[in-house]
């Protein structure tokens, strides 16, 4: 329990710091992907191939992916590393001290990363969806990367092969509240090198990945929503029967 609380606090701190530091407007995560089994399965594949090298998901077992339609054979063949078993949790072999030396901080566990931030600026899914799509090249940083949603981010762009390399173009303009002062405003991205995916394909892939991260934070949420719908329908029918029963009971009472 203490480890889970620690993971929550670390994840919350990293996400909140990025949001507070950047002030970048968040894009809306396509929530329809949460009910798209193919999107969740593709998100799981992207997660294992691109995220699980540095980030663990220590509170999720591989075999829980059966809840999104994958068979045990598919999980073993496509999503397991050689030394892992289908019943194992998603842990990594990266040493904590080495990770801190590489990135300046230990990469947080991603088991509940999508649930660790929710507020007036948007949901955790909105933040992740924006964050993974706003990386750009910045040679002044140790990793060579920066991010609009999380300025001065320590994490390099793990999906750069898919998105390609981009530069961020900023413009100087007068501050509306103080004309004597100029502000540094983001204007647009410029593609430096192409990625394996075009812009729309990358957007869809990030949406799939974020959908999986959101699902992983609460694997039972889909079933919970389905049960909730049936309960509301049952209560609606029960109200009709109760209303008619009440009318029949009191009809002869004067």
One DSSP character per residue, 3-58 reads HHHHHHHHHHHHHHHHHHHH-PPPPPP-GGGGG-HHHHHHHHHHIIIIITTT--EE
Number of helical H runs and strand E runs in the chain:
8, 6
Instruction: Specify the pLDDT at position 122.
Output: 67
Residues 252 and 199 in one domain: no
- Across the range 125-139, mean pLDDT stands at 96
Note whether 244 and 119 are same-domain residues.
no
pLDDT band at 98 (very low <50, low <70, confident <90, very high): confident
Instruction: Please state which of the ranges 87-91, 182-186, 250-254 shows the lowest mean pLDDT.
Output: 250-254
pLDDT digits (tens, 9 = 90+) for 108-128: 899 999 887 655 456 899 999
Angle at 169 between CA 143 and CA 199, to 5 degrees: 80
Contacts 24+ apart (CB under 8 A), 40-44: 40/68, 40/69, 40/208, 40/211, 40/212, 40/215, 41/65, 41/68, 41/69, 41/70, 42/205, 42/208, 43/208, 43/209, 43/210, 43/211, 43/212, 43/213, 43/215, 44/68, 44/70, 44/79, 44/212
**Cα angle: 177, vertex 183, 189; to 5 degrees:** 130
Query: Residue 15: what pLDDT?
Result: 42
| Closest of 146, 133, 152 to residue 25, by C-alpha | 133
Residue 73 CB partners (closer than 8 Å, separation 6+): none
pLDDT of residue 10: 40
Domain containing 248 equals: 226-254
Count of CB atoms situated within 10 Å of the CB of 38: 11
pLDDT in tens, 169-228: 999 888 778 877 888 889 999 999 999 999 999 999 999 999 999 999 988 877 788 899
Considering the entire predicted model, what is its pTM?
0.78
Do both 192 and 236 map to the same domain? no
pLDDT at 239 over 80: yes
Residues 124 and 183 in one domain: yes
Q: CB of 151 within 8 A of CB of 186?
A: no
pLDDT for position 199: 96
Whether the per-residue pLDDT at 143 is higher than 60: the answer is yes
Q: 237 with 153, same domain?
A: no
Q: Say if residue 27 is in the same domain as residue 139.
A: yes
Cα 55 to Cα 90: distance, rounded to the nearest angstrom: 9
**Range from 80-84, 127-131, 232-236 carrying the lowest mean pLDDT:** 80-84
Under the banding of pLDDT at 50, 70 and 90, the label for residue 5 is very low
- Residue 7: is its pLDDT beyond 80? no
What is the signed CA dihedral for 99, 105, 107, 108, rounded to 10 degrees? Answer: 140
Write down the pLDDT at residue 176: 78
Q: Which residue has the tokens 């389905």?
A: 226
Domain containing residue 162: CATH number: 1.10.760.10
Residues 143 and 232 in one domain: no
Using the predicted structure, report yes or no on whether residue 64 has a pLDDT greater than 70: yes
Same structural domain for residues 243 and 183? no
Which range among 83-92, 106-115, 116-125, 229-238 shows the weakest confidence by mean pLDDT? Answer: 116-125
Tens digit of each residue's pLDDT (9 = 90 or more) over 147-170: 999 999 989 999 999 999 999 999
Check whether residue 236 and residue 167 sit in a common domain. no
Identify whether residues 207 and 159 lie together within a single domain. yes
Task: Name the pairing type of β-strands 145-147 and 165-174.
Answer: unpaired
Q: Classify the C-alpha dihedral 79-31-125-116 as positive or negative.
A: negative
Same domain as 78, residue 184: yes
* Same domain (yes/no): 161, 231: no
Give the count of domains, the chain. Answer: 2
- Burial category of 96 from C-beta neighbours within 10 Å (exposed 0-12, middle 13-18, buried 19 and up): exposed
């Amino acid at each position: 329990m203490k480890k889970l609380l620690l993971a929550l606090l670390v994840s919350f701190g990293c996400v909140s710091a990025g949001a507070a530091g950047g002030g970048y407007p968040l894009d809306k995560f396509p929530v329809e992907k949460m009910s798209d089994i193919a999107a969740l399965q593709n998100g799981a594949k992207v997660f294992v191939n691109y995220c699980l090298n540095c980030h663990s998901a220590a509170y999720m077992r591989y075999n829980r992916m059966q809840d999104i339609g994958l068979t045990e054979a598919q999980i073993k063949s496509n999503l397991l590393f050689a030394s892992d078993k289908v019943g194992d949790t998603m842990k990594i072999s990266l040493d904590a001290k080495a990770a801190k030396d590489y990135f300046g901080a230990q990469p947080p566990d991603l088991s509940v990363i999508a649930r660790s931030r929710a507020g007036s600026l948007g949901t955790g899914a909105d933040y992740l969806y924006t964050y993974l799509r706003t990386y750009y090249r910045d040679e002044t940083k140790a990793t060579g990367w920066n991010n609009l949603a999380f300025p001065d981010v320590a994490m390099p762009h793990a999906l750069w092969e898919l998105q390609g390399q981009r530069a961020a173009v900023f413009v100087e303009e007068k501050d509306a509240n103080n004309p004597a002062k100029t502000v540094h405003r983001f204007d647009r991205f410029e593609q430096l090198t192409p990625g394996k995916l075009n812009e729309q394909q990358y957007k869809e892939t990030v949406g799939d990945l974020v959908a999986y991260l959101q699902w992983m934070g609460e694997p039972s949420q889909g079933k919970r929503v389905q049960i909730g719908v049936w309960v509301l329908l049952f209560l609606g029918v029960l109200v009709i029967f109760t209303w008619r029963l009440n009318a029949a009971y009191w009809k002869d009472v004067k």
